[in-house]
Structure 1
Amino acid sequence: MDRKLVAQHMETCQICQGKIPLDESGRLILSSIEPGVTETLHRSFKKYGAEMSKQGRLFIPYDSWDNLEKHLFRTENILPEEELGRLRGSLMTDTGSKHFPGNDFSYYELFEQVKHPIFVKIIQERLFQSFMQPVIDTATGEPFGYEFLLRPNSKLFPFSPGELFAFSQRSGLQSMLDSQARINAIRTGAHMLENGMKRFINFLPSSIYDPRHCLQSTFKAVREYGVQADDLVFEVVETEKIEDINHLQFIFDEYKKAGVHVALDDVGSGHATLEVLQKLKPDYAKIDRSLVDHCDQHPEKIAYIKKLKETAAAQGTLLLAEGIERPEEYEALKPIVDLVQGYFFGRPLMKPA
């Protein structure tokens, strides 16, 4: 791994482990690799008490969250867009918490954090829990496992899982959220389920920079909670585009080396094509919901699902149809797929039904 990649890797790790201060007062720290940028900002922010360090970092004090937002807006008005894109930033408390360069974010990521401090709080303080939705074996009609889905654990801090994950990606906090969500699901499964019951747990490939290192906290949780690796199924979340199939293959390989299973989501639509299915050879493949919806009324959907089944069976992949809401869909798919999931069988709950 070259020096640039090592630096990026260390930065990602520190962001995963760091903490963003949400105090009403503190200091905004800005830096840039572009010569003269922080000096330009320093001249404009001097009247607000800004100071420059020997390392070229600019420290701008703020005494309210509103004041902090105004500083960021002023920065936008001072610098052209290309220089903003190369600007790094972080926050420091008034008490002078230690500053780690790896905890810097891009200007746009930091701005997202400042605009949505409640989301930052939810992620940092892990104000979420794992709900479970049953996955049914079509051969027996019994639960084969459960998918773990993120939900709020406090009425004071509600959120939509989709909005929270979208925010985490815009704000540079996706690695922190993704890692903690996986660990939460592992812990919940250890407390709620018996050995032998599969646990389907989502992950974002973009949050895992170096699988050999980034997944250590996940594997540590597996050991700590006494979970059988064979019971775990890690699946690519539906919002994640497969932009780097080689990187995803690397992640799948690391999971498999640890004895856990992997699943590919949304197969048959978008990026998750038949070719991708054949290349990655996951243990499980989830059919895209658009193919499942009213499939009993669309012979072409059933024909395509049968084609998916042939490909999956040839390489030992179990096929799962999710999003089933009607008995007619289940009856149409039952003879074809191995596993099923959806509101027809049960909604996500805190405890298995």
Structure 2
Amino acid sequence: MEACQLCQGKIPLNESGRMMLFSSVPGVIRTLHRAFRRVQTEFTEENRLFVNYTAWMELQQHMEQIEKVLPEEEQESLRGSLISAEGNTYLPGNEFPIQQLREQIANPMFVKVIQEKLFQSYMQPVIDTKTGKPFGYEFLLRPNSKLYPFNPGELFAFSQRSGLQSMLDSQARINAIRTGAHMLERGTKRFINFLPSSIYDPRHCLQSTFKAVREYKVDPDDLVFEVVETEKIEDISHLQFIFDEYKKAGIRVALDDLGSGYSTVEVMEALQPDYAKIDRKLVQDCHLRPEKIEQIKQLKESAGKIGTLLLAEGIEKPEEYEAVKPIVDYVQGYFFGKPLIKPAKDQK
């Protein structure tokens, strides 16, 4: 199978190098060739333009020049990549739409964080309402270097804008699997987020995840892969395909934000996940809103019919916990513990 961008070489972050540009629209590359006449360039027979740069700021100026000379519709036809000064080899398939390349050039620190895996997994406890003890932990991405701080939400948003979401999503999954193997006892569930849009072909893209499961000798039944809250569920069949691949490997799956816009009861019934997390907005102050409790009961009834276990997340107050405790199977939130680098010892 042809390698995807995740499997190709790294994006060079050197101060000097070459930018390759290509367009299938006749004349676009020639227009750029003329625009960069004062810069050292190379125009090939394959209609590719190589533009040299000797500083990152110069590279950013090159991107500004492209915006000036090309109308928006012609910019949309452009693809490109960066090539280090040492190796002038162009790697087919390792090019990005110009909008994604622009994001990479504007945010080299985020690119470095993703490529060099400058992150670690923190763990937040998931509590069994019957025992009051941790049933498992959700793994959340955090910086591992003070020199390269980041907001996790901003990093994932950047990865989607820059075409690096597959790389980040895959490495975050592997990091969580490794951390769980070192930190948790067998039988403890590990909830790990994933972006459906980052998994183009589940049979191919999930191989690195399954390899990590084998390498770290993790029981697949201890893993729960969860659709992240920011992902809009637009292609149910694709998500079903991903869920099926996980289940074939003996891994559990979870649906997030049940009760919100995209994550409806109908979606839950179609996907039949092992676990479903109730939207935190529905949980917030539920002890003060009888209609919220009623809706949670309805979700529990629907989940029970298909064997899906229900989890209420975002609990921050003891009153919220007491209100949902008789209804749901599991709970999670700051009331029980913030995400920590090690499993919390004492629970409510």
Normalised by the size of structure 2, how large is the TM-score? 0.97
Select the residue among 252, 268, 274 that pairs with 1:261.
252
Answer yes or no: is the 8 Å Cα contact 1:16–1:175 preserved in 2: no
Partner of 2:291: 300
Partner of 1:342: 333
Q: Could you list the per-position Cα deviations for residues 140-172 of structure 1 after superposition, in whole angstroms to 9, with x for gaps in the alignment?
A: 111000000000000110000000000000000
Amino-acid identity (%): 71
Alignment of 1:96-111 (within 5 A): 96-111=87-102
Partner of 1:224: 215
Partners of 2:285 and 2:9 lie apart in 1 by 46
Report the CA distance between 1:209 and its aligned residue.
0.1
Select the residue among 200, 210, 213 that pairs with 1:209.
200
Say if 2:282 is the partner of 1:326: no
Partner of 1:3: none
SS at match of 1:181: helix
Partners of 2:92 and 2:70 lie apart in 1 by 22
Q: Could you list the per-position Cα deviations for residues 183-205 of structure 1 after superposition, in whole angstroms to 9, with x for gaps in the alignment?
A: 00000000000100000000000
Partner of 2:150: 159
Partners of 1:97 and 1:118 lie apart in 2 by 23
Moved more, 91-100 or 336-345: 91-100
Select the residue among 21, 24, 40 that pairs with 1:30.
21
SS at match of 2:80: strand
Partner of 1:310: 301
Report the CA distance between 1:18 and its aligned residue.
2.6
Say if 2:30 is the partner of 1:47: no
SS at match of 2:25: coil
Partners of 2:238 and 2:34 lie apart in 1 by 44
Letter in 2 for 1:231: D
Alignment of 1:74-93 (within 5 A): 74-93=65-84
Deviation >4 Å, runs of 4+: none
Alignment of 1:67-146 (within 5 A): 67-146=58-137
SS at match of 1:48: coil
Letter in 2 for 1:240: E
Answer yes or no: is the 8 Å Cα contact 1:263–1:285 preserved in 2: yes
RMSD: 1.0
Report the CA distance between 1:58 and its aligned residue.
0.3
SS at match of 2:37: helix
Partner of 2:276: 285
Answer yes or no: is the 8 Å Cα contact 1:265–1:287 preserved in 2: yes
The structure with the greater share of residues assigned to helix is 1
Partners of 2:102 and 2:238 lie apart in 1 by 29
Report the CA distance between 1:99 and its aligned residue.
1.9
Letter in 1 for 2:129: T
Partner of 1:252: 243
Gaps of 5+ in 1: 1-5
Q: Could you list the per-position Cα deviations for residues 84-122 of structure 1 after superposition, in whole angstroms to 9, with x for gaps in the alignment?
A: 111001001111253212110110100100000000000
Q: How many residues align?
A: 344
Partner of 2:51: 60
Letter in 1 for 2:58: N
C-alpha change, 1:314 and 1:73, in structure 2 (3 Å) is: same
Select the residue among 186, 208, 227 that pairs with 2:177.
186
Letter in 1 for 2:252: H
Letter in 1 for 2:125: P
Report the CA distance between 1:16 and its aligned residue.
4.3
SS at match of 1:34: coil
Answer yes or no: is the 8 Å Cα contact 1:16–1:173 preserved in 2: no
Partners of 2:88 and 2:38 lie apart in 1 by 24
